[in-house]
């Protein structure tokens, strides 16, 4: 079986297509292992769907399933268009619902699933937090300096609220920076699409930014986010790094 290694804004994924759905949690742990496997933040399996262009299975590197991954969905759309020869305009099913995407060479824009479960702001460990779900749950705190990012605090918040944890700095009304601690990886990652989406949406909700901005994650890539009819659109480059045949013996 041929595997494809993808990178999207600092998140990396192992991607392949199969003809049927099944539990691949153990396979995800094997392939995502950075020492004995291919190495990745997650595994994406593209499978057929009778109504949409495809459906996906998404696994974190620890083998746990995730409903949604913003950067992963852009990688899946790029793979489906360039390697499975599907249309530039794609509709595909995730655990968080239907995702729409447009692929223009290596630039991919997706429409995230609608924002839900917006929480009232609350205080925890001396910081003000707010939560929402942009495909998976996120907790966001706005800071003056991203060096305030505290990995131990992130672990506490992740455990207490079962959410990804984001520190966001608003540079101006068209630009924010974000650092994210992700469930499943259980560490800070270079980027998180749904996390950046949550930071953008809550910043807009609190009148900190406009409805069309740039977001930079830890990978330092500039990514474009916009809000249209209360839907988040997310655009950035995607790269297929290499193809590989993995030896299981």
pLDDT digits (tens, 9 = 90+) for 146-162: 999 999 999 999 999 99
Q: How many CB atoms lie within 10 A of CB 136?
A: 23
- Which is the catalytic residue, given 7, 32, 61, 192? 192
Q: Exposure string (b/e) for 140-173, b if CB count within 10 Å is 16 or more?
A: bbbbeeeeebbeebbeebbeebebbbbbbbbeee
199 has catalytic annotation: no
Compute mean pLDDT per 10 residues along the chain, 249 residues long, and list them: 92 96 96 94 97 97 94 97 98 94 98 92 97 96 97 98 97 98 95 96 98 97 95 96 88
User: Residue 146 has what DSSP assignment?
Assistant: G
Domain ranges of the chain: 2-111+237-245, 122-229
146: left (phi over 0), alpha (psi -120 to 50) or beta: alpha
pLDDT for the residue numbered 129: 98
pLDDT for the residue numbered 99: 95
The architecture CATH gives domain 122-229: Roll (3.10)
Q: Tens of pLDDT along 214-248?
A: 999 999 999 999 999 989 999 999 999 999 898 88
The architecture CATH gives domain 2-111+237-245: Roll (3.10)
pLDDT for the residue numbered 246: 87
pLDDT for the residue numbered 156: 98
| H-assigned helices in 138-228 | 151-161, 193-205
pTM, 2 dp = 0.90
User: 122-229: same fold as 2-111+237-245?
Assistant: yes
Give CA–CA dist 44/69, Å, rounded.
10
pLDDT for the residue numbered 194: 95
pLDDT for the residue numbered 247: 86
241 has catalytic annotation: no
pLDDT for the residue numbered 249: 73
Beta strands in the chain (DSSP E): 2-8, 11-17, 42-47, 54-60, 89-94, 97-104, 107-111, 122-124, 127-133, 137-142, 164-172, 175-182, 187-189, 212-216, 223-228, 231-237, 239-245
- Which is the catalytic residue, given 69, 132, 154, 199? 69
Question: Rg (Cα) of the chain, in Å, rounded?
Answer: 17
244 CB-near residues (< 8 Å, 6+ apart) = 2, 3, 4, 5, 38
Give CA–CA dist 87/102, Å, rounded.
9
């Amino acid at each position: 079986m041929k595997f494809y290694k993808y990178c999207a804004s600092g998140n990396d994924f192992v991607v392949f297509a199969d003809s049927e759905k099944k539990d691949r949690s153990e396979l995800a742990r094997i392939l995502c292992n950075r020492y004995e496997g291919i190495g990745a933040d997650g595994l994406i399996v593209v499978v057929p769907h009778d109504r949409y262009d495809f459906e996906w299975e998404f696994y974190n590197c620890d083998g746990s399933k995730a409903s949604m991954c913003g950067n992963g969905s852009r990688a899946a759309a790029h793979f489906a268009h360039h390697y499975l020869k599907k249309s530039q305009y794609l509709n595909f099913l995730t655990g968080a619902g239907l995702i729409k995407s447009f692929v223009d060479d290596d630039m991919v824009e997706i429409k995230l699933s609608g924002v839900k479960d917006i929480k009232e702001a609350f205080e925890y460990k001396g910081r003000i937090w707010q939560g929402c779900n942009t495909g998976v749950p996120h907790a966001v705190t706005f800071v003056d300096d991203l060096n305030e990012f505290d990995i131990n605090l992130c672990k506490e918040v992740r455990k207490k609220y079962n959410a990804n944890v984001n520190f966001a700095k608003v540079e101006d009304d068209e630009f924010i920076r974000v650092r994210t601690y992700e469930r499943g990886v259980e560490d800070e990652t270079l980027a998180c699409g749904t996390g950046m989406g949550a930071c953008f949406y809550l910043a807009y909700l609190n009148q900190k930014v406009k409805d069309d901005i740039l977001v930079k994650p830890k990978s330092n890539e500039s990514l474009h986010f916009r809000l249209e009819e209360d839907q988040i659109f997310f655009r950035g480059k995607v790269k297929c790094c290499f193809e590989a045949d993995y030896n299981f013996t």
